[in-house]
Structure 1
Amino acid sequence: MEYSQNDENFSLTRFESMLKTNDILFFDSNEFENIIHHYLENGKIALAKRAIKLGLEQHPSSVNLRLYQVEILVIENKFEEANTILNELHDLEPNNEEIYIQKANVLSKQDQHEKAIEILLMAIGMSKTPEDDSDLYALIGMEYLFLDQFENAIIYFKKCLEADTTDYSALHNIIYCYDFLNQNTEAISYLNGFLDNNPYCEVAWHQLGRQYFAIKEYSKANAAFDFAIISDDSFVGAYIEKGKVLEKLKQYEDAIENYKITLALDDPTSFALLRIGYCYEKLGQDDLALQFLKKTVDEDALLDKGWLAITKFYMKRLNYQKALYYINKAVNIDGENVLYWKLYATVNKRLNFLEEAERGYKHCIELGNYELDTWLDRSDILISLGEYEASIHNLLQASEFYLENAEIEYRLGGLYFTLNKNEEGRFHLKNAIQLNFEYNFIITELFPNLKDKPIVKAIISDFKKTSN
């Protein structure tokens, strides 16, 4: 028996009314199945369990209700109980494919993916329709994904799509596997073959365009996205991807047009607004560029690319005060974003606000940004501030990540000599010179008072003599 939406809503209303009043009402087993399915779909596990309990009290021999019971037990990781019920059901209905699917599900949840595949292959022999086969092939494909066996996964997702050409999740999974294997050419070949038989499949055209984009075949990507749009002129993703292609082709006005179409079709996305801003900047239309970059952060204040874009916009125009204003806003919104702190440090450094710049680099390091230039920039600022011991400590930390690095060693040598710790200075300067003599200008630039120091001149002179 099939139920309409109205029937289902009526059943739900009666069931929930029964729970409130404690009256016992009768529902047929199909009604219970629909009620349970509704609750599971909406994540209402407790209500699903109540419905299963009451359903089995009224229909104790219903196999489908007991299969829902198994589904709940799997969610709760009660695998032994689930298996006990499944074995009982298998004795009652040995050819019920749903029992095999649930058995496979239990095995999969226990990371026994090979055994799950064996069970699903047995179920295929029992399925009654191509749609059933399609679902089973998809489940096998997923098990192979869990095993990282992408070639086998592709085989079964293809079988799934052959049985049901509208199963776009299978199509996405096939392309995901090809992407993981870096097999763009194979993906393109498969998609072209699929499109020969399904020429109006907008999802396949979209995926084909993405593959061409990945290998920088921008004209072919553009054509593929055009066909995706012809197949579905409200396909927002195709307009977005076409805009990206047109940017690569430096056709910025056309790119803007495509991004703007997405704004009309759906709620504005921060990505589209940001790209429009970039395109206007490329066209030299600064006012419009800034207008859309600001709209980007208005739309999504947590999108770091938006704040970074506005800050860099002003930096390019040497308007560091405005740049500082926006990067300060960004840092206040998300103080854990390394990219913000790095740019915060750079802007403050340009403005000669050295204490704030040092604070920015320090935050970067604390947040796990261990790039060499972060350590070195912080060290150089500490030197400018006369914080020699702090600079040494910073560089020693850096040397744990960058062993035997000449730029670190020259700085350490200069710092130790500055503090009149000549033995340590000699050790690090000699080490630096051995690593890369050409970087010896670091001493002159950062420690001009040392260039005429006899011990420093002697170390450099000795190296020149021995290397000639």
Structure 2
Amino acid sequence: MTEYGDYLDEEMEERARNFERQLNSGDTFFYDTDELGQIIDYYLDFEEISKATQAIAYAESIYPFETYYKIKKAEVYIAQRNINGAVKLLEKYRTIEPQNTEIATLLGDCYSLSLQYKRAIECYMFSLNQETQNEEILLRLARVHFAMGNHKKANSYINAIPTNYIYDELSIQEFIKLFLDYNQNAEAILFLEKVINEDPYNYSAWYFKGLIYQRMEEYNESVNAYEFCIAIDETNTLGHLGKGNSLMESNDYNAAIESFTLSLDNDESDAEVLCNIAECYENLKDDKGAKFYYEKAIKLNPNISDAYFGMAMIYKRKKMWKDAKRCLHKAIDIDQYESMYHIELAELYLTLEDNTLCYYHYNLAYELDSETVEILLDFAHAKFEFNDIDDAIELLLENLEDHDEDHRMYYRIASYNFLRGHYEKGYNFLHAALKMKADEYLLLFEFAPFLENEKNVSNIIDLYTK
């Protein structure tokens, strides 16, 4: 069944395309300000910036003194990340129309985007005092105060918003995004409970409550919230999907499979859900079931990289190296920016004793995710396995500055130096590691077990542990 909103979208698209044809023809034609405004908004909504710019230029040629189009031009600047250009334009027209709240609000948005929060607040407060319908301004003020760390003040603005606005479906999403952006999980729950107390059958409120509890890893509460969603509307698959995710994260894989199955929509979006079902089967040690659902996901969407990755893991466990390699390469062809794919392929090449390709994929993985020290340590371990211990030491030293607070780096460098017979350097790094985390000294022996019988090493460890 086609929704009424779909007709409106189709009508706007046709009007926009008709405008383009007339513009390109060079013929003279007429649009009133409302029609032009709708066309410009349509382009901005769909991020067709060059077309929005053309429409604004045409509008200004007909209505040169209409401030509305200057505001739209500022919105284009913002979309192009030209915040300074937007500020200059808005400040200019604010001097001409000092009481214009649209200009003040948009100027506040610009200052907020450029982290000039005090100026943003000044603009928003001006609009707040001028407007009778001020819910959007209160929301902006809350966001700015959250950004400044003034959480109490931010919540006071949220509490000032009329309840009939708060309980609107779209505005619930706005509020939750605001809370999540600033990691205000407890406040988000309080807000949603307030909504639910007034409107117990609000599907969105229950859904987001489940989502927040899931984020907080309180899975029982999360599942309960999603079950209320399902009770309100069992045909809406979001509740089933959310419940499935929570059950999977709490390791209740059989129940998760049941919920995921109920969330299937019989379209291409099901491919991701099928991957979730396959992952549940993997965790249940049922590779046959997992493979079946990964293949089903690929059949539905041949470009779903996670399914190829899942298949590769199954083949690796079965030591079917050729098939595992093929699936990992396919996953990387689809998404070359996922570091985990490169890590697994590097490990596979380590098993196949191909140091060139092993190093190549570890290097790519670390370039993609240089904040994850485990990648670096695994890369060094690969060099260790290929007996390139000096290169392993060099790799860790080159990147030590980026991970100088991680004790594992120091233990590893110490153990490799001892292996190479560089005892003085080994002692120096061992001291540094023990100062950081003495109770992890066993890490030293993972790569240099012979040190357990070294009296000097034992004495140094005793200095920090006894």
The verdict on a shared fold, with TM-score over 0.5 as the criterion, is: yes
- My pick for the range that moved more, 111-120 or 425-434, is 425-434
One-letter identity of the residue aligned with 2:347: T
Conserved? CA contact 2:332–2:341, under 8 Å: yes
- Structure 2 CA distance for partners of 1:123 and 1:407, relative to 1, 3 Å: closer
Separation of aligned partners in 1, 2:427 and 2:136: 69
Kindly indicate whether residue 127 of structure 2 is the aligned counterpart of residue 123 of structure 1.
yes
1:105-254 equivalent positions in 2, closer than 5 A: 105=109, 107-108=111-112, 111-128=115-132, 132-160=133-161, 162-179=163-180, 183-248=184-249, 251-254=252-255
Q: What aligned pairs does 1:381-460 form with structure 2 within 5 A after superposition?
A: 381-383=385-387, 387=388, 390=391, 393-394=394-395, 397=398, 405-416=410-421, 425-428=422-425, 439=444, 460=454
Instruction: State which of 19, 29, 34 in structure 1 corresponds to 2:38.
Output: 34
Which of these residues, 87, 100, 104, is aligned with residue 95 of structure 2?
Answer: 87
- How many Å apart are 1:197 and its aligned residue? 0.7
* TM-aligned CA distance change 1:227 to 1:29, over 3 Å: same
Aligned length: 436
CA distance in 1, matches of 2:38, 2:89: 24
Distance, in Å, in 2 between the alignment partners of 1:427 and 1:438 is: 19
Residue 140 (structure 1) shift: 2.6
Decide whether aligned partners of structure 1 residues 141 and 398 sit closer, same or farther in structure 2, where only a CA change above 3 A counts: closer
- Change in Cα spacing, 1:331 to 1:30, as seen in structure 2 (3 Å) is closer
> How far does the alpha carbon of each residue in 1:365-388 deviate from its partner, in whole angstroms, 9 at most, with x for none?
5664643632542242232xxx56
Give the partner amino acid of 2:223.
N
Please state whether the residue corresponding to 1:164 is helix, strand or coil: helix
The aligned runs of 1:327-342 (5 Å cut-off) are 327-331=328-332, 337-342=338-343
Q: Which of structures 1 and 2 has the bigger CA Rg?
A: 1
Q: 1:355 to 1:199 in 2, by over 3 A?
A: same
**2:56–2:72 CA contact under 8 A, matched in 1:** yes
- Check conservation: 1:379, 1:394, Cα contact below 8 A: no
How far apart are residue 242 of structure 1 and its match? 0.6
Q: Confirm or deny: 8 A CA contact 1:86 1:103 kept in the other structure.
A: no
The CA deviation string for residues 37-91 of structure 1, in whole angstroms up to 9 with x for no partner, is 333334444544454455455445645455445545666515334322232234x
Residues 70, 89 of structure 2: 8 Å contact kept: no
Q: How far off is 1:8 after superposition?
A: 6.3
1:104 counterpart letter in structure 2: G
**Does structure 1 retain, via aligned residues, the 8 Å contact 2:165–2:171?**
no
Change (3 A) 1:229 1:89: same
Q: Deviations over 1:120-141 (max 9, x none)?
A: 233234334xxx3222223333
Contact conserved, 1:70 with 1:86, CA < 8 A, in 2?
no
Q: Separation in 1 of the partners of 2:115 and 2:29?
A: 41
Q: Contact (CA 8 Å) 1:399, 1:408: kept in 2 or not? A: no
| Partner amino acid, structure 2, of 1:82 | L
Shift in Å, 1:179: 4.4
Equivalent position of 2:437 in the other structure? none
1:254-279 residue CA offsets vs partner (Å, 9 max, x unmatched): 32232123322543344311210122
Contact 1:221 1:245 survives alignment (8 Å): yes
SS at match of 1:287: helix
TM-score (norm 2): 0.74
Structure 1, residues 378-420: CA drift from partner, whole Å, max 9, x if none? 242232xxx565456456547775688344334323334xxxx
Whole-Å separation in 2 of the counterparts to 1:69 and 1:388: 60
The corresponding residue for 1:292 is 293
CA contact (8 A) 2:240 2:263 kept: yes
Q: CA RMSD in A?
A: 4.3
Displacement after TM superposition at 1:158 (Å): 4.5
> Which residue of the partner structure matches residue 419 of structure 1?
none
CA distance, structure 1, for counterparts of residue 301 and residue 350 of structure 2: 28
